A and B are shown apart, each in its own frame.
Chain A
Amino acid sequence: GQNIDQPTEMTATEGAIVQINCTYQTSGFNGLFWYQQHAGEAPTFLSYNVLDGLEEKGRFSSFLSRSKGYSYLLLKELQMKDSASYLCAAMDSNYQLIWGAGTKLIIKP
Chain B
Amino acid sequence: DAMVIQNPRYQVTQFGKPVTLSCSQTLNHNVMYWYQQKSSQAPKLLFHYYDKDFNNEADTPDNFQSRRPNTSFCFLDIRSPGLGDAAMYLCATGTGGVSNGYTFGSGTRLTVV
Residues in A whose Cβ lies below 8 Å from that of B103: 45
CB distance from A12 to the nearest CB of B (A): 19
Please classify how large the interface on chain A is, using the bins under 10, 10 to 19, 20 to 34, 35 or more: 20 to 34
Against B, the Cβ 8 Å flags (1 = close, 0 = not) of A42-56 are: 111100101000000
Residues in A whose Cβ lies below 8 Å from that of B40: 8, 85, 101-102, 104
Stretch at the interface among A13-21, A60-68, A71-79, A92-100: A92-100
A4, B42: Cβ atoms under 8 Å?
yes
A43, B104: Cβ atoms under 8 Å?
yes
The verdict on B41 contacting chain A, using a C-beta distance below 8 Å, is yes
Residues in A whose Cβ lies below 8 Å from that of B100: 45, 48
The verdict on B2 contacting chain A, using a C-beta distance below 8 Å, is no
CB distance from B67 to the nearest CB of A (A): 21
CB distance from B88 to the nearest CB of A (A): 8
Report Cα–Cα, A99/B41, bound state, in Å. 9
B42, A102: Cβ atoms under 8 Å?
yes
Residues in A whose Cβ lies below 8 Å from that of B88: 40
The verdict on B81 contacting chain A, using a C-beta distance below 8 Å, is no
Residues in B whose Cβ lies below 8 Å from that of A91: 98, 101
B42, A101: Cβ atoms under 8 Å?
yes
The 8 closest A-B pairs by CB, nearest first: A99-B42, A42-B104, A101-B42, A42-B107, A33-B101, A31-B98, A99-B43, A45-B101
A-side residues, CB < 8 A to B, are 4, 8, 30-31, 33, 35, 40-45, 48, 50, 85, 87, 89, 91, 95-97, 99-102, 104
Q: Sample 10 A-B pairs with CB under 8 A, ordered by A number.
A: A43-B90, A45-B101, A45-B102, A45-B103, A48-B100, A48-B101, A99-B43, A101-B41, A101-B42, A102-B40
